[in-house]
Amino acid sequence: MLMRSSLLPIISLLTTEWALAQFTTPAAVPTGVAVQGDYTGPLRPRVHFSPPAGFMNDPNGLFKDNNGTWHLYYQYNPTDIVAGNQHWGHATSPNLYEWTNQPIALFPPNSTTGVFSGSAVIDANNTSGFFQNTTEGVVAIYTLNTPQKQVQEIAYSYDGGYTFTPYSGNPVLDVGSNQFRDPKVVWYNDHWVMVIAYAAEYVIGIYTSPDLKDWTHASNVSHIGFLGIQYECPNLVKLPVKNSTSNDDQDGWVLTISINPGAPLGGSITQYYPGQFNGTHFEPYDRATRLSNFAKDDYAGQFFYDEPVSIGWASNWEYTNIVPTGSEGWRSSMTLPRTNYLVDSGVRGYHLVQEIYDVSPILSKKLSSSDNNLVNTTISNMNFDNGIYFDMNITLPSDVTFSADASINFTISTQTSRECVKGGYILASSTPYTIWLDRGQTDGFDNPFYTDKFSESQLKPAKRIQGMMDRSVFEVYIDNGAVVGTMDVYPTEPFTTLSVGSRSLPKGSEITFSAWELKDVWA
């Protein structure tokens, strides 16, 4: 979904050299064949999905088919490198990292209409009546955006999600609003449940349906968390609960709401609310507001249908239309895929944990200088080509008092060391137990909204830090995804070197450290 129903103008007023790039996008939208992409540009992520060409935003319609193939659709402008002309692009993968671009799945019927965000379900019991001979029927539920209003439509697929036919009875939900969008549908016991944003009213509507065609309003969740200027892209899904203090509640629900603009850090961000859902009404466990990411580039995340796995859009509306990847003919990538669960963290309430999905398929050679104990030493100059993934496990003595400068630090530099991304973990100071990131020492992009420094604090010291530099996307995951930071980075030359170390850690500390070169999944 776009924040306005009209095409978005391009920012040209800002003090940046990155106005519109020279790249020429196709004049016509390819039908029936996959859009071709050139994945060789130096800013192209190797394992974070990016569109073959043109502009991508929200992940849509995520589901895993009965063959185990993951389907990723996405808001897609195949004819320009700025948002607008929204289609549903499509890619498939056996492992959520190695993607095959598929033909565009959903097309707008005319030039003033957009196929906005939505979700997909497998209608195994043929509740819709579309599927007589299969338990693998796929139905996409999406917002059709016209200059007049936003209505909800459905389309069905007989071939497992590769091609779709719009339902002849569309729209299936029309409240006469031009700010009503982004349906996400799940199955609850004996009926379908849709959450959808009344974007300008700060309301998430909950609707139910027996057949995906007739929808009945059940309840609203209103004015919760940071309001921003608009609510978008809600999700309401059931997740496992680990470490629950009460054994009778091994599953919990989480409502996510994305806001744009108006995030605390500026622009777009996603917040979440763990709670209870009874099939018609959602009640959060508490009145706390929690963000799913402490950096600035993780928006509109969606869960795969009936899976605890999610993917977010790794960008921010404050600058997404002008970032320098436009010079390579594409803009925006997705976050890493994540396996999610809830943790009852005691006094701080329920917390969403977003583990990196199994990375083994994308690890290339292990770097020879890894596997050291990093306590109070530095490993410099670990070199890589495509990108790097590192993983450190930290064991600290219990009940220790830290020196004031106890910390873990990492720097990822370009070949000439002129540019770098820095980060670290503070164990003691005015703000102990804090992860920080700094993308300010790169030269490829400058913009009043391109915030450079991010941090988040924890109650206890981190036990694990995972990081991945993937050309123009950096992500850090603390304690298996209890804290996640995602930020786009735009160097003018490729990142090639990691240095990592720690200092002033107490006696008895251990840090096991490993790092791997990333595989180039597009090679």
Question: To which residue do tokens 């137990």 refer?
Answer: 433
Is 20 a binder of its own copies (CB under 8 A)?
Answer: no
Is 428 a binder of its own copies (CB under 8 A)?
Answer: yes
- Helix, strand, or coil (residue 327): helix
Question: Using CB atoms within 10 A of its CB, is residue 463 exposed (0-12), middle (13-18) or buried (19+)?
Answer: middle
CA-to-CA distance for 348 and 222, rounded, in angstroms?
23
297-326 residues near its own copies, rule: CB under 8 A: 317-321
Is 201 a binder of its own copies (CB under 8 A)?
Answer: yes
Contacts of 97 (CB under 8 A, 6+ apart): 47, 337, 357, 359, 361, 362, 521
DSSP code per residue over 157-197 = ESSSSSS-EE-TT--SB--S-SSEEEEEEEEETTEEEEEEE
CA-to-CA distance for 164 and 168, rounded, in angstroms?
12
Candidates 37-45, 94-102, 121-129, 423-431 — which segment interacts with its own copies by CB under 8 A?
423-431
Selected from 113, 503, 512, 514, the binder of its own copies by CB under 8 A is 503
Q: How far is the CB of 445 from its own copies (least distance, A)?
A: 12
Cis amide bond preceding 171, omega within 30: yes
CA-to-CA distance for 80 and 23, rounded, in angstroms?
9
Is 458 a binder of its own copies (CB under 8 A)?
Answer: yes
Selected from 70, 116, 130, 202, the binder of its own copies by CB under 8 A is 202
Decide whether 83 or 352 has the Cβ nearer to its own copies: 83
Q: How far is the CB of 504 from its own copies (least distance, A)?
A: 7
Q: Pairing mode, if any, of strands 309-313 and 180-188?
A: unpaired
112-141 residues near its own copies, rule: CB under 8 A: none
CA-to-CA distance for 374 and 410, rounded, in angstroms?
11
CA-to-CA distance for 465 and 513, rounded, in angstroms?
9
Is 147 a binder of its own copies (CB under 8 A)?
Answer: no
Candidates 143-151, 344-352, 353-361, 390-398 — which segment interacts with its own copies by CB under 8 A?
344-352
Q: How far is the CB of 442 from its own copies (least distance, A)?
A: 13
Decide whether 354 or 407 has the Cβ nearer to its own copies: 407
Contacts of 129 (CB under 8 A, 6+ apart): 211
Q: How far is the CB of 293 from its own copies (least distance, A)?
A: 10
Q: How far is the CB of 256 from its own copies (least distance, A)?
A: 15
Reading the block at residue 496, the tokens are: 């090639």
End-to-end CA distance of the chain: 31
245-284 residues near its own copies, rule: CB under 8 A: 260-267, 284
Q: How far is the CB of 15 from its own copies (least distance, A)?
A: 8
Is 226 a binder of its own copies (CB under 8 A)?
Answer: yes
Is 366 a binder of its own copies (CB under 8 A)?
Answer: no
Is 13 a binder of its own copies (CB under 8 A)?
Answer: yes
Decide whether 140 or 291 has the Cβ nearer to its own copies: 291
CA-to-CA distance for 441 and 375, rounded, in angstroms?
26
Q: How far is the CB of 83 from its own copies (least distance, A)?
A: 8
Length, in residues, of the chain: 523
Is 424 a binder of its own copies (CB under 8 A)?
Answer: yes
CB 317 within 8 A of CB 233: no
Give the side-chain half-sphere CA count within 13 A for 181. Answer: 28
Q: How far is the CB of 451 from its own copies (least distance, A)?
A: 4
Selected from 3, 29, 34, 363, the binder of its own copies by CB under 8 A is 3
> Which one is catalytic: 58, 80, 297, 488?
58
Is 223 a binder of its own copies (CB under 8 A)?
Answer: yes
Is 222 a binder of its own copies (CB under 8 A)?
Answer: yes
Q: Is 371 a catalytic residue?
A: no
Decide whether 70 or 202 has the Cβ nearer to its own copies: 202
Distances (CA, A) of 167 to 142, 175, 195, 236, 382: 12, 18, 20, 24, 55
Is 405 a binder of its own copies (CB under 8 A)?
Answer: yes
Point out the residues that are catalytic: 58
